[in-house]
């Protein structure tokens, strides 16, 4: 049973609107009823729970900030963050599916697509009738996507795409892939590749110890004919995919707090119930130190992220500010999962509690969307003006 209770130490809810709280409570109730009871089983079987797609769409998790004219709910950035936090409180893989659909598929089509592309894809992506994935990473180019080898050539009335991507969330079941590849002039562009195009396949990658309830795959392109109308014309260069990452990384900054809150809540409850040496373990100073530090770190992350949300709403958040929040919050969440796992003793390694699953999931989150160290270097570059990537 999902016994989660929210902890709001600095009364952050007072900063939210009534609508934001209603949206959060509705999603939380849905997740507690339909997703929490099944997530451990899907995680163990390394299967994606397709049946939740409809519910996630219904509660606004696919493209929360996409305007209503394109089928989205037209919500603000703080509500988008709150939704990601609720999803990741249950499982980072569930949040991943929504992050990719929203920020890495709908966002580039909305921002850089033609009006025809927006009308063709966005409404179906918002309802989950169509699912998408985002192909940037290649076998030899992860942190350095600018070196990518995937290419497309102009063949008159269409393009021909060749190359491969790996570690792509949602790839095995995606109907559309937003794929980043270079043209003959070495300039990076986004292309919308559809399932069923000849020469395109998306085999599943198996054997993950992390994010097991999320499907990950490769994208393989062998002379794939892509219609010219599938190019995203609005922006080219590495800045185009990186700007989509800004939106997804912002969602992760909120999401990671959700995983941390779940672990803290579980550890607090367990420590009051578990008796050792004739006392609840919560009465020992060492346990209190862990719990006190956890709620302090969660509260700091909540404040950082709320302010970032205000800046995003005003269009003033910088990429470097987003990097700082993603890096800080994911590390904070990982540390809290580890401490919470210890408070649960041996029970912490069992699937009766969520700490170990959250911890394993966050090992992917700390690497994808820019590794922990890449985000540190982004902050370093921002404050010194000197890039130290190479
Ligand atoms: P650099 O020369 O610094 O920049 C190239 C151009 O991009 C611009 N730019 C950005 N634009 C928008 N947003 C950002 N965040 C931007 N960062 C840079 C920059 O101004 C420049 O523009 P221009 O006009 O001068 O050309 O590029 P670099 O090659 O030195 O690389 C910089 C670095 C290392 C920071 C960047 O490559 C990077 O962020 N690497 C990490 C790669 C990454 O995050 N991959 C994520 C793949 S997708 C994923 O993981 C999804 S997981 C999904 C899930 O399941 O949730
Ligand atoms: P590398 O870039 O090879 O890095 C290896 C190590 O070297 C890291 O510790 C890194 O910090 C360090 N390093 C690299 N360069 C430097 C440097 N200049 N200075 C100091 N240290 C450095 N990608 C997508 O495109 N779409 C997706 O949907 C997607 N989903 C993913 C899902 C999962 C579960 C995972 C695990 C990954 C996913 N990724 C996706 C890929 C992810 O973005 C990459 O794994 C990530 O960007 C890091 O690339 P890499 O794994 O090749 O590591």
Interacting residues of 9 by C-beta distance below 8 A, sequence separation 6+: 295, 298, 299
CB atoms within 10 A of CB 362: 28
- For ligand 1, atom 13, the nearest C-alpha belongs to 243
The ranges of the chain annotated as CATH 2.40.110.10 are: 132-232
Banded pLDDT at 186 (limits 50, 70, 90): very high
Q: Tell me the HSE value of 188 on the side-chain side, using a 13 A CA sphere.
A: 17
Q: How many residues does the chain have?
A: 390
Residue 1: its pLDDT value, please?
Answer: 84
* Among 166, 322, 309, CA closest to 244: 322
Q: Are 322 and 308 in contact (CB under 8 A)?
A: yes
User: Would the CB of 134 count as within 6 Å of ligand 2?
Assistant: yes
Nearest atom in ligand 2 to the alpha carbon of residue 100 is: 28
User: Would the CB of 236 count as within 6 Å of ligand 2?
Assistant: no
Assigned fold of 132-232: Butyryl-CoA Dehydrogenase, subunit A; domain 2 (2.40.110)
Q: Which ligand is nearest to the CA of 241?
A: 1
**CA dihedral angle for residue 141, residue 147, residue 153, residue 159, rounded to 10 degrees:** 50
* Among 123, 30, 3, CA closest to 70: 123
Residue 134: its pLDDT value, please?
Answer: 98
Residues 70-111: pLDDT tens digits?
A: 999 999 999 999 999 999 999 999 999 999 999 999 999 999
Banded pLDDT at 211 (limits 50, 70, 90): very high
Q: What's the CA gap between 138 and 147, in Å, rounded?
A: 9
Nearest atom in ligand 2 to the alpha carbon of residue 208 is: 34
- For ligand 1, atom 10, the nearest C-alpha belongs to 239
Residue 375: its pLDDT value, please?
Answer: 98
Q: According to the CATH classification, is domain 239-384 in 1.20.140.10? A: yes
Q: Tell me the HSE value of 349 on the side-chain side, using a 13 A CA sphere.
A: 2
**Ligand 2 centroid distance, CA of 30 (Å):** 33
- For ligand 1, atom 31, the nearest C-alpha belongs to 144
CA 296, 297, 298 angle in degrees (round to 5)? 95
Query: Of all helices (H) and strands (E), which one includes residue 355?
Result: helix 355-365
Q: Are 208 and 34 in contact (CB under 8 A)?
A: no
Three-state DSSP class for residue 3: coil
**Both tokens assigned to 201:** 């396949």
Nearest atom in ligand 1 to the alpha carbon of residue 137 is: 47
Q: Are 183 and 175 in contact (CB under 8 A)?
A: no
Predicted confidence (pLDDT) at residue 131 exceeds the cutoff of 90: yes
- For ligand 1, atom 56, the nearest C-alpha belongs to 96
Residues 188-207: pLDDT tens digits?
A: 999 999 999 999 999 999 99
**Ligand 1 centroid distance, CA of 238 (Å):** 6
Q: What's the CA gap between 311 and 352, in Å, rounded?
A: 39
Q: What's the CA gap between 376 and 59, in Å, rounded?
A: 34
User: Would the CB of 135 count as within 6 Å of ligand 2?
Assistant: yes
The ranges of the chain annotated as CATH 1.10.540.10 are: 12-127
User: Would the CB of 85 count as within 6 Å of ligand 2?
Assistant: no
Q: Are 90 and 31 in contact (CB under 8 A)?
A: yes
Q: Are 219 and 171 in contact (CB under 8 A)?
A: yes
Q: What's the CA gap between 382 and 28, in Å, rounded?
A: 37
> Is 369 part of the annotated catalytic residue set?
yes
Nearest atom in ligand 2 to the alpha carbon of residue 133 is: 28
Tokens 């249950």, residue located: 90
Residues 145-164: pLDDT tens digits?
A: 999 999 999 999 999 999 99
Tokens 């009465």, residue located: 283
Banded pLDDT at 257 (limits 50, 70, 90): very high
**Ligand 1 centroid distance, CA of 11 (Å):** 35
**Ligand 2 centroid distance, CA of 143 (Å):** 5
Residue 258: its pLDDT value, please?
Answer: 98
Residues 163-180: pLDDT tens digits?
A: 999 999 999 999 999 999
**Both tokens assigned to 230:** 């599938």
Q: What's the CA gap between 319 and 332, in Å, rounded?
A: 20
User: Would the CB of 323 count as within 6 Å of ligand 1?
Assistant: no
CA 161, 164, 168 angle in degrees (round to 5)? 120
User: Would the CB of 364 count as within 6 Å of ligand 1?
Assistant: no
Radius of gyration of the chain (CA): 21
> Phi/psi of residue 28, each to 5°?
-60, -45
User: Would the CB of 87 count as within 6 Å of ligand 1?
Assistant: no
What DSSP line would sit under 308-321, residue for residue?
A: HHHHHHTT---HHH
Strand partners, 180: 190
The architecture (CATH level 2) of 12-127 comes to Orthogonal Bundle (1.10)
Predicted confidence (pLDDT) at residue 345 exceeds the cutoff of 90: yes
Residue 250: its pLDDT value, please?
Answer: 98
Nearest atom in ligand 2 to the alpha carbon of residue 141 is: 52
Residue 296: its pLDDT value, please?
Answer: 98
Average pLDDT for the chain: 98
Interacting residues of 159 by C-beta distance below 8 A, sequence separation 6+: 152, 153, 191, 225, 226, 227, 228, 230, 231
Q: Which ligand is nearest to the CA of 210?
A: 2
The ranges of the chain annotated as CATH 1.20.140.10 are: 239-384
Q: Tell me the HSE value of 325 on the side-chain side, using a 13 A CA sphere.
A: 31
């Amino acid at each position: 049973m999902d016994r989660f209770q929210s902890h709001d130490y600095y009364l952050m809810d007072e900063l939210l609107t009534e609508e934001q709280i209603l949206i959060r409570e509705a999603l939380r109730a849905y997740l507690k009823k339909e997703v929490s009871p099944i997530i451990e089983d899907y995680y163990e079987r390394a299967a994606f729970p397709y049946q939740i797609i409809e519910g996630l769409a219904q509660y606004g998790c696919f493209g929360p900030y996409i305007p209503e004219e394109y089928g989205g709910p037209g919500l603000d950035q703080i509500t988008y963050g709150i939704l990601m936090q609720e999803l990741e409180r249950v499982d980072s893989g569930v949040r991943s599916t929504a992050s990719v659909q929203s920020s890495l598929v709908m966002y580039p089509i909305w921002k850089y697509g033609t009006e025809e592309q927006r009308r063709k894809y966005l409404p179906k992506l918002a309802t989950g009738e169509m699912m998408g994935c985002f192909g940037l990473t290649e076998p030899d180019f992860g942190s350095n996507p600018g070196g990518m080898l995937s290419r497309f050539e102009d063949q008159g009335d269409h393009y021909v795409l060749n190359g491969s991507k790996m570690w792509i969330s949602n790839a095995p079941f995606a109907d559309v892939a937003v794929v980043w590849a270079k043209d003959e002039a070495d300039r990076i562009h986004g292309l919308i590749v559809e399932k069923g195009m000849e020469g395109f396949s998306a085999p599943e990658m198996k054997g993950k110890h992390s994010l097991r309830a999320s499907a990950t795959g490769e994208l393989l392109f062998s002379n794939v004919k892509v219609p010219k109308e599938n190019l995203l014309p609005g922006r080219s260069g590495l800045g185009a995919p990186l700007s989509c990452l800004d939106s997804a990384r912002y969602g992760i900054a909120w999401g990671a707090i959700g995983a941390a809150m779940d672990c803290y809540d579980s550890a607090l409850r367990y420590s009051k119930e578990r008796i050792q040496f004739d006392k609840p373990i919560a009465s020992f100073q060492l346990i209190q130190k862990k719990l006190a530090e956890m709620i302090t770190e969660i509260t700091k992350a909540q404040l950082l992220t709320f302010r970032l949300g205000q800046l995003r709403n005003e269009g003033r958040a910088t990429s470097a500010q987003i990097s700082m929040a993603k890096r800080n919050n994911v590390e904070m969440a990982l540390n809290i999962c580890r401490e919470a796992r210890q408070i649960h003793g041996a029970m912490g390694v069992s699937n009766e509690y969520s700490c170990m699953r959250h911890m394993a999931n966050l090992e992917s989150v700390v690497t994808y969307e820019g590794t922990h160290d890449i985000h540190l270097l982004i902050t370093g570059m921002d404050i010194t003006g000197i890039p130290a990537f190479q």
